[in-house]
Amino acid sequence: MFANIWQAVISGLSIGSIYALIAQGYYVTYITTSTLNFGQGEFLMIGAMIGLTAYVVLGVPFPLALLIAVVATGLMGIALERIAIRPVLRHVLTHSWVLSTLAISIILKNGAVSLWGPEQIRFPSPFGEEVLKIGNAGIFPQELFIIVCALGTVAAVQLFLKKSILGKAMMAVAHNRNAAAVMGIDVKRMVILAFMLSSALAGLGGILIAPVTFAWAYMGTVPGIKAFAAAIFGGLENPVGILIGGLLIGLLEQLFGVINSNLKEGITFLFILIMLAFRPTGLMGRRTVEKV
Amino acid sequence: MTVNNLVRAIRRVAVGSLLAAGVAVASLQGAIAAELKLGVDLSLTGGTDDFGRGARMGIEMAVKEYNAKGGYKGKPVELAIYDDETKPAKGVENLTRLITRDRVFAVIGPANSGVALAMIDIAQKQKMPLVVPLPTSEPIIGRYANEAKHYIFRVTLNDGIQTQFMIDYIKRKGLKRIGLMHDSTGWGQSGRETAVRLLKEAGIPLVAEPQVFDQNDTDMTAQLSKLRDANVEFIVSYSLAPAGVQIAKSMQKIGMKTPWSGTWGVLAPNFLKLGGKEAAEGVMGVTSYTIDHSDKAKAFHERVEAAYKDQGGDFFPVTTAQAYDAARLVLKALDKVGPDPVKVRDAIEAIDDFHEAVTKMHPRPFTKENHEALGADTGFLAVWRDGKVFRVTD
């Protein structure tokens, strides 16, 4: 029994770190513009497909393929901001970005089907298929790489936002848009940067998980939703909360799977529902006291 | 001036009559061709294109061999092949076109169950014999089974019968501790019901709860661990190729070596493409044909390998073999009654001397009541060995 739980912990951490990585993308755009890209899962898919094309079809070395995928999805993030966010944000109270980002995601999915077909395609792991042992739990090298990369990326994003000039400027916009503008920060550019970063994170997630999930046009939908759950669960404005939220969802799924495979996702989301009833702003969300 | 006009008039008349003659010849050709066209609809692109491309090779080979022996009363049979792109609407459109424009005497196809379920209504209504070489969904034959004249025939193992072969294997090996896994789709759920019923009838109860997974799950270690805790000796699984690969990989992860079998989907080339040879090794599935199950099969495999070297050889043997047998049944009926769809239907139903089958088909594949050429005693388990599918012999 203990062996099963330990295996579930290892598997859960690997799956959860993917959710955490994608969910960071939601955080970055939310704090700067109060919008989310609901096509985050499809940007992930595009990252995987571009990575696949570069790595498998064109034979580019893996690190370079990874870079190509990240840069390409980053650039797509700029286009996303221009096409789906900026035009609809002209009205202050609008929620049209929900629809416009969803529209982009549907277009991307359709485009991917016609470009790469509807079937799963194998993405060979650059680290091979030899099973590693942690205690008595097995893990593929790629899964270990995902955990390391996801945690590393989350830390790097934090470092960027807290320490670099550009990151500080972005945080300033997040904190108070008007004040930042008055201080000479180009708000528009910071917003573009936020979407670029968010999309690139999704693209990175895509090329990381493709060797585990296969690369295909519909690969992003479920991780996109689970990552959204992770972001809300952890607290949309708290990057550490999001990280924990992602890992926890992955863990819960696998642990409940050990108890009853029929109900694992149902119970996981029931758990989230109950938690939100007690902490509406998420696990580590700030509780703001509104003065009336 | 007048000469010019005259020339012009003559030219006009000449062109006109040439055109008329051309049309007459064309329609005459149409009439002749209509008598000897065999229609084919398959998914050559889209989701089940592997199945469609494999089947096309078998049909083409059967027709080529038939024509080489003189065809029908000296006339070669032509093939009208259309691609349904794995879309039901396109399949219906193709079938209509085959019936009304190509005026074929029979149709072989499609490769996909969803497409087949959309096509059978038209085939039945238009009295066009439709020989289904690959789709496994039960209602394809069930829907019109009680009509006075049933126009749909099937040359593949249906979903319901496949489980039986796994149970047969379990019984033969005297296995007692059986586990069950299935995906959460409707197909997986109905598979679970069939398996539970058949196991109960055989007096072999499941030793653990049936384990469920989503067809896109990537980690099955939790489910497999539970089966391992129950000390299962064999696992019956309802999983398509992608989930099947994840089961195999999760087994590697936890070092589990329990033998398991899926339905015929896990024997598709897609399984090898997604999992690689290592993950596929030892995985079993249900089939009606392997390249080594009989001498006829061995010879057929070599012919396909040689003839289609440029298309990947015999890359999906069971589809090619079943489609080959389907085409040969239709051509045999043609020999007996000529290119009339209604008569061909009657003849297919009455064939009782089909000894040349490369699959495990009986010499009398169909009766009025039974339109399933492959059934209870014509399937068996096969296993992946070094990237190829072989018969399980023990």
pLDDT confidence bin for B1, thresholds 50/70/90 = very low
Distance from C-alpha of A169 to C-alpha of A161, rounded to nearest angstrom: 8
State the number of CA atoms in the 13 A half-sphere of B223 facing the CB.
Answer: 28
**What pLDDT score was predicted for residue B26?**
47
Q: How far is A15 from chain B (nearest CA, A)?
A: 9
CB contact (8 A) between residue B223 and residue A261:
yes
Residue of B nearest to A14 (CA): B219
- Nearest CB among B222, B254, B274 relative to A138 is that of B254
Q: What are phi and psi of A144, to 5 degrees?
A: -65, -45
In a domain, A135, yes or no: yes
Confidence check: pLDDT of B34 > 50: no
B59 and B87 together in one domain: yes
B245 and B326 together in one domain: no
**What pLDDT score was predicted for residue A88?**
84
Distance from C-alpha of B141 to C-alpha of B235, rounded to nearest angstrom: 29
**What pLDDT score was predicted for residue A1?**
72
Read off the pTM: 0.83
CB contact (8 A) between residue A11 and residue B274:
no
State the average pLDDT over residues B107-112.
95
The model's pLDDT over B269-282, given as tens digits with 9 standing for 90+, comes to: 999 999 999 999 99
In a domain, A181, yes or no: yes
State the number of CA atoms in the 13 A half-sphere of B294 facing the CB.
Answer: 15
CB contact (8 A) between residue B226 and residue A4:
yes
Distance from C-alpha of B32 to C-alpha of B193, rounded to nearest angstrom: 52
In the block, tokens 């899962």 appear at A41
State the average pLDDT over residues B213-226.
90
Residue of B nearest to A118 (CA): B47
The model's pLDDT over B299-348, given as tens digits with 9 standing for 90+, comes to: 999 999 999 999 889 999 999 999 999 999 999 999 999 999 999 999 99
In a domain, A64, yes or no: yes
In a domain, B44, yes or no: yes
Higher local confidence (pLDDT), A282 or B356: B356
CB contact (8 A) between residue A258 and residue B226:
yes
B168 and B138 together in one domain: no
Distance from C-alpha of A233 to C-alpha of A278, rounded to nearest angstrom: 11
Domain count, chain B: 2
Alpha-carbon torsion, ordered B245, B246, B251, B253, to 10 deg: 120
Q: Which of A120, A208, A254, A260 to mutate to test the interface with B (most CBs of B within 10 A)?
A: A120
Q: How far is A167 from chain B (nearest CA, A)?
A: 35
CB contact (8 A) between residue A7 and residue B254:
yes
State the average pLDDT over residues B73-90.
94
**Residue A166, domain extent:** 2-220
CB contact (8 A) between residue A7 and residue B221:
yes
In the block, tokens 């989301």 appear at A269
Task: Give the ipTM of the model, two decimals please.
Answer: 0.85
Task: Give every CB contact of residue A110 below 8 A, 6+ residues apart in sequence.
Answer: none
Chain A residue numbers with beta carbons less than 8 Å from the beta carbon of B114 are: none
B214 and B279 together in one domain: yes
State the average pLDDT over residues B212-237.
92
B170 and B256 together in one domain: yes
Task: Give every CB contact of residue B178 below 8 A, 6+ residues apart in sequence.
Answer: B170, B199, B204, B205, B206, B207, B232, B233, B234, B235, B236
* Paired tokens of B87: 């879309």
Confidence check: pLDDT of A231 > 70: yes
* Residue pairs spanning A and B at CB distance below 8 A: 81
pLDDT confidence bin for B28, thresholds 50/70/90 = very low
Mean pLDDT estimate for chain B = 90
B334 and B267 together in one domain: no
- Nearest CB among A138, A140, A254 relative to B255 is that of A138
B166 and B142 together in one domain: no
Task: Calculate the CA B39 to chain-centre distance.
Answer: 15
Report which of A126, A128, A114, A194 is spatially closest to residue A160, judged by C-alpha positions. A194
Q: What are the residues of chain B with a beta carbon less than 8 Å away from any beta carbon of chain A?
A: 46-47, 209, 211-214, 216, 218-219, 221-223, 225-226, 229, 242, 249, 252-255, 270, 273-276, 278-279
B113 and B184 together in one domain: no
The model's pLDDT over B237-252, given as tens digits with 9 standing for 90+, comes to: 999 889 999 999 999 9
In a domain, B393, yes or no: no
CB contact (8 A) between residue A261 and residue B279:
no
Task: Calculate the CA B170 to chain-centre distance.
Answer: 26
Starting at the edge strand that comes first in sequence, how are the strands of the sheet with B178-183 ordered?
B211-213, B178-183, B234-238, B260-261, B284-287, B380-385, B388-391
Higher local confidence (pLDDT), B231 or B377: B231
pLDDT confidence bin for A288, thresholds 50/70/90 = low
A15 touches chain B (CB under 8 A): yes
CB contact (8 A) between residue B249 and residue A137:
no
In a domain, A86, yes or no: yes
**What pLDDT score was predicted for residue B7?**
57
The model's pLDDT over A173-225, given as tens digits with 9 standing for 90+, comes to: 888 888 998 989 999 999 999 999 999 999 999 999 999 999 999 999 989 99
| B133: three-class secondary structure by DSSP | coil
Residue of A nearest to B230 (CA): A1
**Residue B335, domain extent:** 36-157+293-375
Confidence check: pLDDT of B125 > 60: yes
Q: What are phi and psi of A39, to 5 degrees?
A: -95, 20
B208 and B108 together in one domain: no
Q: How far is A200 from chain B (nearest CA, A)?
A: 23
**What pLDDT score was predicted for residue A269?**
85
In a domain, A259, yes or no: no
pLDDT confidence bin for B33, thresholds 50/70/90 = very low
Distance from C-alpha of A20 to C-alpha of A35, rounded to nearest angstrom: 18
Which range has the worst mean pLDDT, A132-136, A279-283, B244-248, B336-340? Answer: A279-283
Query: Last residue of a domain, which of B254, B287, B320?
Result: B287
Report which of A33, A161, A141, A133 is spatially closest to residue A89, judged by C-alpha positions. A33
In a domain, A20, yes or no: yes
For residue B279, the domain's CATH number is: 3.40.50.2300
- Nearest CB among B252, B274, B276 relative to A120 is that of B274
State the average pLDDT over residues B68-73.
94
Q: Is the peptide bond before B341 cis (omega within 30 degrees of 0)?
A: no
pLDDT confidence bin for A73, thresholds 50/70/90 = very high
**What pLDDT score was predicted for residue A2?**
81
**What pLDDT score was predicted for residue B79?**
97
Query: Last residue of a domain, which of B287, B303, B324?
Result: B287
**What pLDDT score was predicted for residue A42?**
96
Confidence check: pLDDT of B103 > 70: yes
B50 and B115 together in one domain: yes
State the average pLDDT over residues A278-283.
83
| A53: three-class secondary structure by DSSP | helix
Q: Which of A52, A132, A259, A261 to mutate to test the interface with B (most CBs of B within 10 A)?
A: A261
Residue of A nearest to B252 (CA): A131
In a domain, B23, yes or no: no
* Paired tokens of B165: 């072969």
Query: Last residue of a domain, which of B287, B321, B342?
Result: B287
CB contact (8 A) between residue A11 and residue B223:
no
In the block, tokens 């999805």 appear at A73
In a domain, B12, yes or no: no
Are B267 and B285 in contact by the 8 Å Cβ rule? The answer is yes
Domain count, chain A: 1
Distance from C-alpha of B177 to C-alpha of B206, rounded to nearest angstrom: 7
A257 touches chain B (CB under 8 A): yes
Confidence check: pLDDT of A3 > 90: no
Distance from C-alpha of A11 to C-alpha of A138, rounded to nearest angstrom: 9
The model's pLDDT over A89-131, given as tens digits with 9 standing for 90+, comes to: 877 667 888 899 999 999 999 999 989 988 899 999 999 989 9
Distance from C-alpha of B72 to C-alpha of B63, rounded to nearest angstrom: 11
Confidence check: pLDDT of B368 > 90: yes
CB contact (8 A) between residue B219 and residue A119:
no
In a domain, A102, yes or no: yes
The model's pLDDT over B154-174, given as tens digits with 9 standing for 90+, comes to: 999 988 888 889 999 999 999
Q: Which of residues 103-162 of A touch B (CB under 8 A)?
A: 117-122, 124, 129, 131, 137-140
Angle between helices B295-307 and B317-337 (to 10 degrees): 100
Distance from C-alpha of A16 to C-alpha of B140, rounded to nearest angstrom: 42
Name the H helices within chain A: 2-33, 40-52, 62-80, 96-116, 141-163, 165-175, 177-182, 187-213, 221-234, 239-259, 264-278
CB contact (8 A) between residue A15 and residue B218:
yes
**What pLDDT score was predicted for residue B375?**
86
Q: Which residues pair with B381 in a beta bridge?
A: B286
In a domain, B279, yes or no: yes
CB contact (8 A) between residue A260 and residue B209:
yes
